[in-house]
Amino acid sequence: MTSFIREVALASFALVLWVGVSQAASTLRLDYVHSGNALVENYALDRLVIEPQPWPGNPARPIDATNRGANLFEVVDPADGTVLYSRGFSTVFAEWRTTEEAQKLSRAFQESLRLPLPEKPVRVRVLSRDERNAFSVVWSIDVDPSAPDIERKTGPAPAQPIAIRHNGPSERKVDLLILGDGYTAAEAGKFTADAKRLSDRLFATTPFRERADDFNVWALMVATPQSGISRPSTGAYRWSALGTRYDIFGRERYALTLDNRAFRDIAQFAPYEFVEILFNNETYGGGGIFGQFSTAAAGSEWAEYLFIHEFGHHFAALADEYYTSPVAYQSGTARPEPWEPNVTALHDPSRLKWLGKVKQGTPLPTPWPKAEFEKYQRAYQKERSQLRAANKPESEMNALFRRERDFTDKLLANKEFSDRIGAFEGANYQASGYYRSQMQCIMFSRTDHFCDVCADAIEAIIDLYSR
Ligand SMILES: [Zn+2]
């Protein structure tokens, strides 16, 4: 009887959500396994969970029309096909698929979709992009909110979230959750200070600065017995609650958790739409997956840059505009127009996606000191990999990074098109065939600001959760 009453209550909350009334629905999480290799991919249901926190989403904006992400999921009324809710996202699986390992073996990754608990049965569809970047359905599953095997009870919260910034009810604010990993119980104060310091820096950066009132920020950590996270390439292994570690896909600086279940089971105790995991290490590293989470080494001298750059990937699906650092991904020779808002293949300059921001008379492509930049980068990248291979102290790496940033800042300042929006060749991990919109951007170098095109792309996502 009690469960029946709860059902009716949940259904009526969900109903008011769907018709756009600002009242909290429950949050339904669909956990699934995404497996395969370079050639095939499979989706399989793991479990359905009703999270302990109410739905934090914006009832005024159920449909995501921003065209971001390698994937899109849609919640559909099976009777008439009406799309009730949708969100773009990307996956760790899709990144792994482009590595050499995916040519040789199959692997499985846990992933989650979160949606407001519907009042009646719905169909959840996952869409994926084809080679021309158009979406088509790759998985479809019917979800009955009254099904008895939905998990409706969670265990006690392992820790309580702290509100670092609170500007209003979650459904009209972007809820950013900062999770700590690799902090001991004695380091809880350090975690809170790191979360405040780095989020303050984010909100000092355009366009987050101008839109700071549209955010709530929460901090939550589960203590670990030892300080720091695993860094297998140096033989450092640690248990941590979220499972964040370095050396993802064989890249020393790439840090993610592949333990989605552990991550979601902790995150669910705070209101959240976006998550940045701060890990308690000094070694440079981080990562970011659109719609999943981003990570940053809180103890690195470059933590502010890492936090903001990786958050750009996670929050707005921004592409990397840099192209001289080694990455794990293999790319083909074809150059289809990328779906990411901040890079282009420039197949037709008259249809450039940010053409409206280009001043008349700006040449496309736009000249910049590319040869000089690349000459310096070749020597710098060599030195960087030598320092890591020799396991030199982080202070030597930091000094190298400072020299590199100073060189790049000086080289790209006071040139004819330094402040112009155009199409500068070199982006998206490729020296040729892909272009970025400005010479400098935090997605390109360790500068302190986003280019105008990235800032606009970020604002569109802020709107989706707050307006
Ligand atoms: Zn940019």
Going by C-alpha positions, the residue among 188, 159, 162 that lies closest to residue 176 is 162
Q: Are residues 122 and 10 in the same domain?
A: yes
Q: Does one domain contain both 183 and 251?
A: yes
Q: How far is the CA of 40 from the centre of ligand 1 (A)?
A: 33
Q: Are residues 186 and 106 in the same domain?
A: no
Q: Partners of 219 in the beta sheet?
A: 162, 178
Q: How far is the CA of 343 from the centre of ligand 1 (A)?
A: 8
Looking at the fold, whether 192 and 275 belong to one and the same domain comes out as yes
Q: Return the pLDDT at 10.
A: 41
Ligand 1: centre distance to CA 199 (Å): 20
**Strands lying side by side in the sheet with 122-129:** 83-89, 71-76, 122-129, 135-143
Domain end marker among 93, 116, 143: 143
Give 320 Cα–ligand 1 centroid separation in angstroms: 8
**288 & 184 share domain:** yes
DSSP state letter for 254: B
Provide the pLDDT for residue 334: 79
**Rg over CA atoms, the chain:** 22
Instruction: Tell me: do 11 and 123 sit in the same domain.
Output: yes
Q: What is the pLDDT along the chain (467 residues), one digit of tens a residue?
A: 334 334 334 444 444 444 443 356 999 999 999 999 999 999 999 999 999 999 999 999 999 999 999 999 999 999 999 999 999 999 999 999 999 999 999 999 999 999 999 999 999 999 999 988 999 999 999 999 999 999 999 999 999 999 999 999 999 999 999 999 999 999 999 999 999 999 999 999 999 999 999 999 999 999 999 999 999 999 999 999 999 999 999 999 999 999 999 999 999 999 999 999 999 999 999 999 999 999 999 999 999 999 999 999 999 999 999 998 777 666 667 789 999 999 999 999 999 999 999 999 999 999 999 999 999 999 999 999 999 999 999 999 999 999 999 999 999 999 999 999 999 999 999 999 999 999 999 999 999 999 999 999 999 999 999 98
Q: Mapping DSSP to helix (H, G, I), strand (E, B) and coil, where does residue 75 land?
A: strand
- Cα of 197 to ligand 1 centre, how many Å? 23
Distance 216 CA to ligand 1 centre (A): 24
pLDDT at 331: 65
CA distances from 363 to 208, 311, 380, 433, 438 (A): 30, 31, 30, 16, 13
- Residue of 31, 98, 41, 111 whose CA lies nearest to 290: 111
Residue 128 lies in a domain: yes
Report CA(321)–ligand 1 centroid distance (Å).
Answer: 7
Same domain as 122, residue 17: yes
Instruction: Kindly give the distance from the C-alpha atom of residue 240 to the centroid of ligand 1, in angstroms, as a whole number.
Output: 33
Task: Quote the pLDDT of residue 328.
Answer: 62
- 209 plus 115 within the same structural domain: no
For ligand 1, an ion, list residues with CB under 5 A.
342, 441, 443, 451, 454
Distance 177 CA to ligand 1 centre (A): 24
Q: Ligand 1 mean position to 54 CA, how many Å?
A: 34
Cβ–Cβ contacts within 10 Å for residue 136, how many? 9
Query: pTM of the predicted model, to two decimals?
Result: 0.93
Confidence (pLDDT) at 335: 86
User: In sequence order, what are the residues at sequence separation of 6 or more whose Cβ sits closer than 8 angstroms to the Cβ of residue 1?
Assistant: none
CA angle in degrees (0–180, nearest 5) for 179-312-204: 80
Asked if residue 271 is part of any domain, the answer here is yes
Distance of CA 314 from the midpoint of ligand 1 (Å): 14
Residue 72 lies in a domain: yes
Report if residue 34 sits inside a domain: yes
- Out of 80, 110, 143, a domain closes at 143
Output the DSSP codes for 193-219. Answer: HHHHHHHHHHTTSTTTTTTGGGEEEEE
Ligand 1 centroid to Cα of residue 365, in Å, is 16
3-state secondary structure at position 375 = helix
Q: Please calculate the CA angle 159-164-169 and round it to the nearest 5 degrees.
A: 95
Give 140 Cα–ligand 1 centroid separation in angstroms.
Answer: 35
Pair (105, 200) in one structural domain? no
**Residue 332: its pLDDT value, please?**
67
Residue 41 belongs to a domain with what CATH number?
2.60.40.3250
Cα(70)–Cα(135) distance, rounded to whole angstroms? 9
Task: Note the pLDDT of residue 131.
Answer: 87
Length of the chain: 467
Contacts of 454 (CB under 8 A, 6+ apart): 312, 316, 318, 341, 342, 437, 441, 442, 443
| Alpha carbon of 127 to ligand 1 centroid (Å) | 26
Q: Note whether residue 456 is domain-resident.
A: no
Task: Give the chain's domain count.
Answer: 3
Kindly give the distance from the C-alpha atom of residue 453 to the centroid of ligand 1, in angstroms, as a whole number: 6
Between CA 10 and CA 2 the distance in angstroms is 12
* CB neighbours of residue 65 within 10 Å: 10
CATH of residue 211's domain is 3.40.390.10
Both 109 and 197 in one domain: the answer is no
Last residue of a domain, one of 143, 176, 199: 143
In a domain? residue 464:
no
394, 248: one domain: no
CA nearest neighbour of 283 among 179, 182, 197: 182
- Helix residue ranges, H only, 74-215: 92-97, 188-202
Label residue 152 left, alpha or beta by phi (over 0 means left) and psi (-120 to 50 means alpha): alpha
Distance 427 CA to ligand 1 centre (A): 10
Q: What is the pLDDT of residue 167?
A: 97
Measured CA to CA, the distance from residue 50 to residue 10 in angstroms comes to 10
Gap from CA of 377 to ligand 1 centroid (Å): 19
Residues 237 and 360 in one domain: no
Sheet holding 430-436, edge to edge: 343-344, 430-436, 424-427
Distance in Å, CA 205 to ligand 1 centroid:
13
CA–centroid distance, 418 to ligand 1, in Å, is: 14
Judge contact between 206 and 441, C-beta under 8 A. Answer: no
Q: Which two tokens stand for residue 38?
A: 């370079």
Residue 459 inside a domain? The answer is no
In-domain check, residue 365: yes
Inter-axis angle of helices 394-412 and 370-389, to 10 degrees? 180
Alpha carbon distance 418, 420 (integer Å)? 6
Record the tokens describing residue 223, joined without a space.
Answer: 């203590």
Domain region containing 108: 2-143
pLDDT of residue 325: 78
CA 423 – CA 46 distance, rounded (Å): 44
